[in-house]
Structure 1
């Protein structure tokens, strides 16, 4: 996924590098690159979610949780942040909190198949 950074070729390059590292499953490098973008664009919800993914895949579950919470803080109306938060909580064996996150995702997207499936699996 390429993110539009019309105002800065350097930031566009950082986002593209982060995406390449993510696509190559080079999770620590992707996390660092997404974090670099977030230092300049801290309100990019999509970047917080990608940062969370890279942290989660690197095994930094608590840090991933915090990144997803940053995404939610910036846009609490989107279900994606809650779904990803639920995944991070589930991986930490915090099942009740994960269920709450999936329920919140469904509140914002009542037809959400992922949140519905995750709740059923819990």
Structure 2
């Protein structure tokens, strides 16, 4: 082994970087997730994103682990962090839509389904779910529904250029 590499390895063991500590937490979280130990998975994934908040996939894993424990509001918080960092990631909006639907927050769920479609989601299942949620607004007059959707569309970023 080259001396420089040996020195780097030794120093990284003595003075671990945020990245190396985060990787260790992620490995522990993945192992906990695989054995469905959701509390440990959530704790270790949270530790990883505290060290490296840019890790969007780990925010998503944290959301999954919290959701599996029935911690819906904290799961929404984790997914929201992922969505803030990657608003173009359709799957995050799908997760958020389903959780808001569970909380009977139909308008927020609709907004996330639309954001997912805008980000490229093409599943007919998700489209059908959006239509069902829109159908729940049958008691809402068309003007109010149009205003709700208009406000949402104004908030969407420009779509990809084709």
For the aligned residue pairs, the C-alpha RMSD in angstroms reads: 2.1
Q: CA 1:37 to 1:65, structure 2 compared with 1: closer, same or farther past 3 Å?
A: same
Alignment partners' CA distance in 2, 1:76 and 1:112: 18
Point out which structure has higher relative CO (alpha carbons under 8 A, 6+ apart). 1
Give the structure-1-normalised TM-score.
0.84
Q: Which residue of 2 aligns with 1:25?
A: 36
Alignment counterpart, residue 111 of structure 2, candidates 72, 80, 100:
100
Kept in 2: contact 1:78–1:105 (CA 8 A): yes
Alignment partners' CA distance in 2, 1:15 and 1:113: 33
Alignment partners' CA distance in 1, 2:84 and 2:125: 21
Q: Which runs of 5+ in 1 are unaligned?
A: 1-6
Alignment of 1:70 with 2:88, yes or no, is no
Aligned length: 117
Give the structure-2-normalised TM-score.
0.65
Q: Deviations over 1:30-53 (max 9, x none)?
A: 100100101111011111111111
Kept in 2: contact 1:85–1:98 (CA 8 A): yes
Q: Which runs of 5+ in 2 are unaligned?
A: 1-17, 134-162
State which structure, 1 or 2, has the greater radius of gyration over its C-alpha atoms. Answer: 2
Q: CA 1:114 to 1:11, structure 2 compared with 1: closer, same or farther past 3 Å?
A: farther
